Structure 1
Amino acid sequence: MRALLFSALLVVLPGLASAIEPAPASAGRIGLFDAMEQNLVEAKLIAKSDHAARLILANRTKQQLDLQMPDAFAGVPEQVLAQFGGGGGGVGGGGGGFGGGGGGGQQSIGGGGGGIGGGGGGGFGGGGGGQFSIPPEKVQKFDLEVVCLNHGLKEPSSSKPYYLVPVDKVVERPEVVELLKALGRGELQHNAAQAATWAMQNGMSWEELASKRQGTVRSTSRPPYFTAQEMKAAFAYAQEAKRRAEAQQAPSESYSESGYTSASVE
């Protein structure tokens, strides 16, 4: 009888040991773009529309990856990526100001990652503030709110390849970066944020934006692209983004992130 019990323990104990075996340790938190450069994570960006994108991240390692999403990011179509002189995970060359794309292609997109983590941002999980983790050799998909960066070009399409790049590859104006950060934190109404982006990034006047219409010249009905309330909020967003950008460049001044809430859109 004792021999049978001993044999049973030999069978059960290895199973218990494997059940309590700790998960592979993380190598420490790393920025998403650094992880892409080091080939630790594979990133695929799908531009679903002019206001939404999906980010697919695959952990290529055998340990948990603790990642930090950038406060602001950009997504560029293939013809713009070619201007950088690089591709894939690490985007090389370039510099700011590649937002145009030329050739009548799709618009680049921009957004922020500060709202990711802590259960928000489409299930990123983690500590909040753009921090999240991916288990070993697993793939996760996340939905992101974005705005278009190049008025006059075609709207983003999921049928065209897009690539995630650092925001300074596309955006030169610090106030636009501040706006994208706020968008990522969920502080802004989308249409108003889009109007403010086109005003600051593409130099459109508020009069041009207010007169912009939906549809085409052949459409029987062409309502305003932006409502009066959205235009009012867009102007306030732009002013607040400029204030934040100036405060960031002047360390002696206090930096506050409370200004956008007063410009809500009903």
Structure 2
Amino acid sequence: MAYYLRFLRLRHASTQVEVGKILGCTNSQVSKYESAQKQLDGRQCAALDEAWDTGGLFTILLGYAKLGTDVNWPVRLGRYQRNAVEHYIFSNYMIPMPFQTEDYARGVLRAGYDAGFLDDVDATLGGRMELQAAMLEGNPQIWAVLDQGALREMGSVGVMAAQRDHLIEMGASPNVSLRILPLSAAPHIGVDGPFHCFTLPDRRLAAFSGNALGVGRVIDDQPEASSAVLRFHRIAARAWSEDQTREHIAQLGEVDDGLA
């Protein structure tokens, strides 16, 4: 899409400013589309197809793009994680960023190292902690729903106790809403995997789905990203309240104290 956007712009003797008027964006955004730093969404593809009478070329290319793997997804995801003013996070198998303690994250990464998925635990851990700090900078609004199974033991009693204390502390922040989706809510529309939605400073939406074996998909298409946010809200509607969540996490800690 990036190639054909530039190719057809030049073929039509159009400037990036003129293309920006078709797309409803600035010329700097057009430059990012042409360099594949960002992906056109469905509305923009339809506008180009109509303006340049392409026979639906851009809409077709967008369909194929959604089926393939974007090699630039880690860079795009990192940018959205750092810049978002609102986060909507659903996790069904582990405590997600930006809620991980260093020891909890180390244990998760160690498992990845033992399986041969990463080479340096300490370097990767340092990057993860730096990213978490960047995600929290500026106190963005964070709405998170964790499947009850995400609280399962992923480390020693001490590691999990500190992680639960950290969850309670973060959940008490005025910009953070943390809720648990009970096991009794299954089946629900989150059983097929975690996802993360973003509201960016210009109020555009984005989303990220899946990271199995290092493969993920970043969604820039506005209708599709909006659908992902709606998916989050539907899951959240079945979750416990913030107070019930804090009480449940605290009770887990009391069980650990009894075992210790």
Which category describes the TM-score, using the shorter chain as reference length? under 0.3
**Larger strand proportion of the pair:** 1
Whichever of the two has the greater Rg, that structure is 1
TM-score by length of 2: 0.28
TM-score by length of 1: 0.27
- Of structures 1 and 2, the one scoring higher in RCO (CA 8 A, sep 6+) is 2
